[in-house]
Structure 1
Amino acid sequence: MSVDGWNTVLVLGGTRSGKSEFAESLVTDAPVVRYLATAPEGDPEDTEWATRLATHRARRPGSWTTEETAAEPRRLADVLASAEPNETLLVDDLGGWVTVLLDPDHQPADDVATITELAEAVRTCSARVVLVSPEVGLSLVPTTPLGRAFTDALGAANRAVADACDAVALVVAGQPVWLKPVATTTVPAAPAPATATATASVVASGADAEPTPEVQLPDVLTHTPPVVPNQEPGNPWAAPTMALPVVATGLVIQPGMELPMPDEYAGPQAVDRLATLDVPGAGLGVLDRVVGFAAATQGTSTPQAWGSVRVLLLHGDHAGGASAGTVAGESARRAAQARAGRGALARLAAESGASLQVVDTPAAAPMEEQPALSPDQVESALRYGWRLAEQAADAGVQLLVLGACGAGTEAAAAAVLAATAGAEPPAVLGRVITDSGEIDDAAWMIRCAAVRDALHRTRRSSRGAKEILAELGGGDVAVATGVLLGATARRLPVLLDGPVGVAAGMVSRDLAGQARHWCLLADHGGHPAVRLAADVLGLTPLLDLRLDLGEGANALVALPLLRSVLALAAALPVHPSLGGDESLGGVEEPGPAPDEPEPDLTEPDFTEPDFAEPEPEGPGPASTGADEQPASGWRAG
């Protein structure tokens, strides 16, 4: 069993579905990969086929070795059987292997016996193996005897290999779905060594929190207050964490995770409901998106205002040119200030009734010279962020606010955007403002150069999510990514604020594309990186206040407004003209006149009256005369 919880994986998919790319992403963490190519070279004059093969070869990293097995179908089973435990093998694909197996040049051959040998070799293989195969029926099959034989043999091979593998994934339109997930068993995490720890503290709103016992997590320590899980029936924030691979080293976070999506019907229903409310005006404007977001994430068309809110302030510095223009120790001072319940962020949190948790993340090395973090640090940071989100969900938190304070965070976010969205660093790197309010263009150029050199250093590296975090992102972006993934698993919405949060959103797309649908962006703050990432992620900022109070503080300024909108939408009754309660609407319907007979309700009249255009009682829009009718709003009444 490998460290990711599986030893063998079968990846299925149709033609051009992205199955090969997904299979390659599963082995990117291996230092050396043996690529077993099963397809024959084909007709030398078939340039289209030759181009396909060349594209596959060009995509493989230089550290991989390629072995051809097309000459003898049985050789594939021999290679798997003789593989060493420390090896990683990628077989692409079983369709080509079956094609060779049915070739008359290899007859007579017992196809069933050969497939059985292959399945047994996969089952007993001690190496880490990923096999790619086309799923039967997702591609065209010639209606010929040979075509039917190919279909039968490929179907038999897929079933036998799938049964032998630990996990099976189906890739459709580039989106993987795990058909046979790894059987998981929760294993208590080992205590972290004292040399690789990060601390977090919680400051209660408006008062200093008393110290509480430490709770150990993989490679990190955190101080958390006593919490009472909010598990009442029907509570939309109490959904359990989805089953994911867990091994002795902790939670496994890997590309292609299937996490929950918000309710696709509740959001539109909530927005449609707003048009029926007794609102004396044109409604909520663009803030109706807040109602739709809250409805989708809460799973109800009448969402409630977020009561329990927690602010996660991630503190982590980036060394090298990324932090040019910053005062040494300034970010640590801000973090200590927030821990003590002082400063702008703590005061805004107290005003909003939100708890504030300060999290120290691993410091990042100069990205222009070396990787910002090691792969082990990235894994620990992702798991740590996930557990922070789980702790919040267990405490009954209904909304997370993600902020950051650290030297060089903007440059790290710009590097992540350049790697994930192809952005030019100068276009997404904001101006450097000194403590005295002056613009420092020299420091800005140093930051740009650091990002440029880091991208040049990693030009041949993989652009996978974990590789980007290790090479460019650093500890704060890695922990923020884990927070987004953990919050998604627990159906917990996140209010983003600043470059670190949106950079984490960009990285999380490759790990679980559902994460961005649980994020809300209150204000872009005029930051170019936030603007670009929001556009890519499909997050439209609700406001344009251009606040620059620090990450997290900007969101807290907008939070009371968002809460007010949700409270108003939940409390207002339906307009009386649409069947609302007259007592709630404050309008008493007049009864019949004293001399007017009561209507006969015993025999209802089902005939439809003829429609007639009503004659206007007052002057028309082109008249210059005075209008005797009083002006009215958008809704009659």
Structure 2
Amino acid sequence: MSVDGWRSVLVLGGIRSGKSEFAESLVGEGGPVRYVATGSPAGPRGDTGDDPDWDARIAAHRERRPAAWPTEETGADPTRLLEIISGAKEGETLLVDDLGGWVTALIDPERQPADDVATITDLATAVRDSEARLILVSSEVGLSLVPLTAVGRAYTDALGTTNRAVADAADAVALVVAGQVSWLKQAVAAPAAEPAAVVEPASVAEPASVAEPVTPVVPATSPEVLTPTPTPAADDTAAADGQPAWSAPTMTLPALANGMLIQQGMSLPMPDEFTPPQVQDRLPTLDLGGAGFGKLQKVVEFAAATQGRPDPRPWRSPRVVLIRGDHNGGAAAGTLPGESRRLADQARAGEGPLARLAAAAGATLQVVDAPACGAMEEREVLSLEEVESALRYGWRLAEEASDAGVDVLVVGACGSGSGAAAAAVLAATTGAEPAAVLGRVVVPGAEIDDDAWMIRCAAVRDAMHRVRRSSRSAKQVLMDLGGGDIAVATGLILGATARRVPVLLDGPVGVAAALVTRDLAGQARHWCLLPDHGEHPAVKLGADVLGLTPLLDLRIGLGEGSTALAALPLLRTALTLAAALPVHPALAPDDETLAAQDSIDEPADPEAVPPSAWSADPDPADPADPVAAEAVPAQRDAAGDDAGTTEPAPSALESWFESAETDKPARGA
């Protein structure tokens, strides 16, 4: 079998079944190979090595594999295998033979209890996130009888659990029985792209009935795909230490310049509150051929508030940030192995629905990787340091976008298990029932997987029970339930708020992140807009809590971020019309009205308008009247410095009203 189509494979088999030989045949010509031996040279019992049969087995393995393959031994430390897999580079091949020896060291009572599955989960995470090609060999113990001894039962249980976890994380699984190979799980390789058919003009003499069906020509559109680049000062250190980009520090965050962190109660700017009422007064007067903008008036008011002007400019430089952060355990039930990585690589290559829509909208696309998370039902999914790093990373992404001239951000996500994590965040922050906000699990073919939904629901409920006594602060929720993708999205929204950049939410991850921002900066939600709810229960509830009304009701599910991009042209159309259309001619003031307004605004000509027309008394400022001229300074002195002029006497009509009010009998007389 060729190595094309999968990146990690698990080879199962019984004793002397030929599983190791088959695993070695999978290496092919794929680059440098490292052989990772998990069996101890001292023997499976850990004695002095006086075991000729064990020595013969090791010698047979060494003679069969090429001498050019360097060998690494994990020894008695179970974490050594995780370090080797995590440190392997892209283009390298690791052949691990076998997981049974690793489990032997794992269940040693001197190291950790046999029922601790945390290290097994970490192994599955390392396999799922490894950049190298992995070939792992393991013994299939599920077909044998239950051992009679306690140690034997502990070993088979631990190895069976390890096989299940690794099989779920691997792209392909093969079972070798008596030298015969049966593929239990095969990776789905992407078909090679065929060149687009060129449409030739049909011949006039040729009958239409024999004409071949014509494949429509689809132009290959691709957006500008960006690679996250940390700040130079911080990137040098991070690169030297081999840390991922999201863990690099940033000094562009104002709070961090003084040694502080993103914390609760930050003061961030609010949108302008005076422009939306001006928009409400202005839009009905525009020269439209219909009744008005309808629900799209909300996007005009939103853009006006974020831009601080009653005639907001259309968004011309959008950016999509696609966040990939995988969740392990029951949260990822029903997800195809390697699916999130495939979607992220597809977007990086400018392919897939998100990239197509981004290209059509003229948006740049940025794919970022968030830290992977543990199983929420078992332990904290992230440490406090990882949460802090993810928040700063998202903040820095927003700052980079603002510096590049981006005027609107779209939040997207493609991590496995992200929907369950978002449901857990909603349950923790709003008190919702997990089953009510957990979306249905849709597998390829648009089929509903109810079994996977129940597993996810159980994982979320177990996680909520585990954290029932924990605080509900923003960072604690991210540590307990949210994970890396929601933490990065939270930092992205906060950073966009600080830079006055509006954010379009689309999907449960973005809505869950907006809910988390309420504890850190309550102003952030006012910079968020929800184009559509996609009929997702978590998005509906989160939007209601945040006070966000979806503009549309399309009920489409193109993937998180894609629905917002599909609606973006319509939103920009509303902004374009609102900014470009003039006032309707029927509502525009005519020339006589404008002239009358000008005459009122201009001061009256004293020669054309006699003083008697303004007051019954002579003009006190008339220099021809010496008595009035002498009285003016005296009146000013009596009234004080603020009295610049005397109040004119009431006219005859006003005097009549005053006398009528005086002569009117009292009520009830």
Residue aligning to 1:501: 510
Q: Any idea what SS the aligned residue of 1:269 has?
A: helix
Q: Any idea what SS the aligned residue of 1:327 has?
A: coil
Q: 1:214 to 1:533 in 2, by over 3 A?
A: closer
C-alpha distance in structure 1 between counterparts of 2:357 and 2:130, whole Å: 25
Q: Any idea what SS the aligned residue of 1:312 has?
A: strand
> Is this contact kept in 2: 1:198–1:360, CA < 8 A?
no
Q: 1:399 to 1:323 in 2, by over 3 A?
A: same
Q: 1:512 to 1:330 in 2, by over 3 A?
A: same
Q: Any idea what SS the aligned residue of 2:410 has?
A: strand
Which residue of 206, 209, 233 corresponds with 2:222? 206
Tell me how far 1:433 sits from its aligned partner: 1.1
> Is this contact kept in 2: 1:493–1:518, CA < 8 A?
yes
Q: 1:289 to 1:213 in 2, by over 3 A?
A: closer
Residue aligning to 1:517: 526
Residue aligning to 2:497: 488
Counterpart code for 2:502: P
C-alpha distance in structure 1 between counterparts of 2:266 and 2:275, whole Å: 24
Please say if 1:246 is aligned against 2:262.
no
Residue aligning to 1:412: 421
Residue aligning to 1:572: 581
C-alpha distance in structure 2 between counterparts of 1:307 and 1:549, whole Å: 23
Residue aligning to 2:363: 354
Please say if 1:561 is aligned against 2:570.
yes
Question: Cα deviations across residues 319-377 of structure 1 (Å, max 9, x unaligned)?
Answer: 00000001010110000000000000000000000000001000110000010100000
Q: 1:242 to 1:571 in 2, by over 3 A?
A: farther
> Is this contact kept in 1: 2:222–2:351, CA < 8 A?
no
Question: Cα deviations across residues 193-245 of structure 1 (Å, max 9, x unaligned)?
Answer: xxxx999xxxx98356698976455866559xxxxxxxxxxxxxxxxx88535
Residue aligning to 1:75: none
Counterpart code for 2:460: V
Q: Any idea what SS the aligned residue of 2:322 has?
A: strand
- Aligned positions of 1:291-310 closer than 5 A: 291-310=300-319
- Aligned positions of 1:320-331 closer than 5 A: 320-331=329-340
Tell me how far 1:460 sits from its aligned partner: 0.7
> Is this contact kept in 1: 2:279–2:310, CA < 8 A?
yes
C-alpha distance in structure 2 between counterparts of 1:374 and 1:205, whole Å: 40
C-alpha distance in structure 1 between counterparts of 2:261 and 2:221, whole Å: 34
Q: Any idea what SS the aligned residue of 1:356 has?
A: strand
Q: Any idea what SS the aligned residue of 1:513 has?
A: coil
Counterpart code for 2:536: H
C-alpha distance in structure 1 between counterparts of 2:436 and 2:383, whole Å: 28
Residue aligning to 1:444: 453
- Aligned positions of 1:35-114 closer than 5 A: none
- Aligned positions of 1:4-403 closer than 5 A: 206=222, 215=231, 217=234, 243-247=254-258, 252-403=261-412
C-alpha distance in structure 2 between counterparts of 1:342 and 1:368, whole Å: 35
Tell me how far 1:434 sits from its aligned partner: 1.1
> Is this contact kept in 1: 2:508–2:539, CA < 8 A?
yes
C-alpha distance in structure 2 between counterparts of 1:335 and 1:460, whole Å: 36
Residue aligning to 1:43: none
Tell me how far 1:439 sits from its aligned partner: 1.1
C-alpha distance in structure 2 between counterparts of 1:372 and 1:581, whole Å: 68
Q: Any idea what SS the aligned residue of 1:400 has?
A: strand
Choose 209-218 or 532-541, whichever is displaced more: 209-218
C-alpha distance in structure 2 between counterparts of 1:242 and 1:423, whole Å: 34
Residue aligning to 1:542: 551
TM-score normalised over the length of structure 1: 0.55
Choose 512-521 or 260-269, whichever is displaced more: 260-269
The structure that is helix-richer by fraction is: 2
> Is this contact kept in 2: 1:205–1:356, CA < 8 A?
no
Tell me how far 1:578 sits from its aligned partner: 2.0
C-alpha distance in structure 2 between counterparts of 1:370 and 1:401, whole Å: 31
Q: Any idea what SS the aligned residue of 1:539 has?
A: coil
C-alpha distance in structure 1 between counterparts of 2:298 and 2:489, whole Å: 24
> Is this contact kept in 2: 1:271–1:291, CA < 8 A?
no
Q: 1:214 to 1:391 in 2, by over 3 A?
A: closer
Which residue of 523, 542, 548 corresponds with 1:533? 542
Residue aligning to 1:470: 479
Question: Cα deviations across residues 83-113 of structure 1 (Å, max 9, x unaligned)?
Answer: xxxxxxxxxxxxxxxxxxxxxxxxxxxxxxx
C-alpha distance in structure 2 between counterparts of 1:562 and 1:207, whole Å: 20
C-alpha distance in structure 1 between counterparts of 2:289 and 2:397, whole Å: 42
Counterpart code for 2:402: A
Residue aligning to 2:72: none
C-alpha distance in structure 1 between counterparts of 2:525 and 2:226, whole Å: 35
> Is this contact kept in 2: 1:215–1:222, CA < 8 A?
no
Structure 1 unmatched runs, 5+: 1-196, 224-240, 583-601, 607-637
Counterpart code for 2:576: A
Tell me how far 1:314 sits from its aligned partner: 0.3
Q: Any idea what SS the aligned residue of 1:244 has?
A: helix
Q: 1:205 to 1:294 in 2, by over 3 A?
A: farther
Q: 1:210 to 1:434 in 2, by over 3 A?
A: closer
Counterpart code for 1:456: H
Q: Any idea what SS the aligned residue of 1:275 has?
A: helix
Counterpart code for 1:480: A
> Is this contact kept in 2: 1:287–1:565, CA < 8 A?
yes
Structure 2 unmatched runs, 5+: 1-128, 132-219, 247-251, 592-607, 615-669
C-alpha distance in structure 1 between counterparts of 2:551 and 2:418, whole Å: 24
Q: Any idea what SS the aligned residue of 1:314 has?
A: strand
Tell me how far 1:276 sits from its aligned partner: 1.1
Choose 431-440 or 310-319, whichever is displaced more: 431-440
> Is this contact kept in 2: 1:481–1:507, CA < 8 A?
yes
Q: How many pairs are equivalent?
A: 370
> Is this contact kept in 1: 2:223–2:365, CA < 8 A?
no
C-alpha distance in structure 2 between counterparts of 1:392 and 1:198, whole Å: 29
C-alpha distance in structure 1 between counterparts of 2:354 and 2:392, whole Å: 26
> Is this contact kept in 1: 2:334–2:441, CA < 8 A?
yes
Tell me how far 1:271 sits from its aligned partner: 2.3
Q: 1:500 to 1:214 in 2, by over 3 A?
A: closer
Question: Cα deviations across residues 36-62 of structure 1 (Å, max 9, x unaligned)?
Answer: xxxxxxxxxxxxxxxxxxxxxxxxxxx
Q: 1:246 to 1:581 in 2, by over 3 A?
A: farther
> Is this contact kept in 2: 1:242–1:489, CA < 8 A?
no
Tell me how far 1:246 sits from its aligned partner: 2.7
C-alpha distance in structure 2 between counterparts of 1:565 and 1:325, whole Å: 40
- Aligned positions of 1:577-596 closer than 5 A: 577-579=586-588
Q: 1:488 to 1:198 in 2, by over 3 A?
A: farther
C-alpha distance in structure 2 between counterparts of 1:312 and 1:381, whole Å: 14
Q: Any idea what SS the aligned residue of 1:510 has?
A: helix
Question: Cα deviations across residues 264-298 of structure 1 (Å, max 9, x unaligned)?
Answer: 01122112210111111110001100000000000
Residue aligning to 1:96: none
Question: Cα deviations across residues 521-564 of structure 1 (Å, max 9, x unaligned)?
Answer: 00000000000000000000000001110000010000000000
C-alpha distance in structure 2 between counterparts of 1:297 and 1:529, whole Å: 26
Q: 1:288 to 1:439 in 2, by over 3 A?
A: same
Q: 1:419 to 1:283 in 2, by over 3 A?
A: same
* Displaced runs of 4 or more, over 6 A: 210-214
Question: Cα deviations across residues 566-624 of structure 1 (Å, max 9, x unaligned)?
Answer: 00010000111222799xxxxxxxxxxxxxxxxxxx99x99xxxxxxxxxxxxxxxxxx
Residue aligning to 1:90: none
> Is this contact kept in 1: 2:228–2:366, CA < 8 A?
no
